[in-house]
Structure 1
Amino acid sequence: MHIIQSPADAFCLPVSPVQQLQLVNELTECADSSLTVATTLWEETRTQLLYLLPSEEEHLSEELTTYLHHLTCNAEYVIRLDDSLFLALTILSDSGQGFYLLFPFSATFTGAAELIAMAEPSGF
């Protein structure tokens, strides 16, 4: 499992360079594609992204399971980055704190199938 605290850290995730660029484009879209503005926004709202690897689903903490349940019930949006990766967002508090989840098509956590079914294609 990889947790990042800044959109720029997406370049450190173990995904292809094309997926990294597409992910950064999605994460910075609300900030006029500015990595600096998006990073500041993430810091102010304590937003983070979790990349859930398939082999890790069997050993999820109770806290993470609670976050995933919240996400599946309250997804702001779900985007299909490509045929293998999805990006979902949920808002956790009135302050705008967000929680992104990057997960594979093979995900089996409760609600994954519903998130995949509602995914829209990436705009990039």
Structure 2
Amino acid sequence: MMSDSLRTLSVMNLSAAPLQFKMIKDNEYINFYNTEDIQLADGTNITDIGLRLSKESGGAAPLLNFSPTGQCITLDTVKKHHPQLVLTDYPRGRSENEVTSYTAPKDMNGQKVSFSFTMKKPDCLDSVVISAD
């Protein structure tokens, strides 16, 4: 599973990742990467795939984000796989792009998965973030 390998992913071993990432920008501390969209067998497309890796060992934890498209994934569907979701962010009324986010408890590797739904399309999953902090 991708999240399992996320914990150990680094700038030094990125070429061994299951996806081919391309660096798009960087700053003093972090390299930012993206990769091609993926189509799953059920027709869902995984788009806007981004990866952030610290330039230093022991720096910021790896972070992977993506957006599922092609079908509406509801909060109820997400809860079937992650029943212990906790509300971690909510819209403050400034933009229809603001999100309501729910985060699953850390797994045994210390990784968290957050699921976000935008105000403009609140019934369908907009983005997923996996962090290994």
Bigger CA radius of gyration: 2
Structure 2 length-normalised TM: 0.34
Q: Which has the higher helix share?
A: 1
TM-score normalized with structure 1 length? 0.35
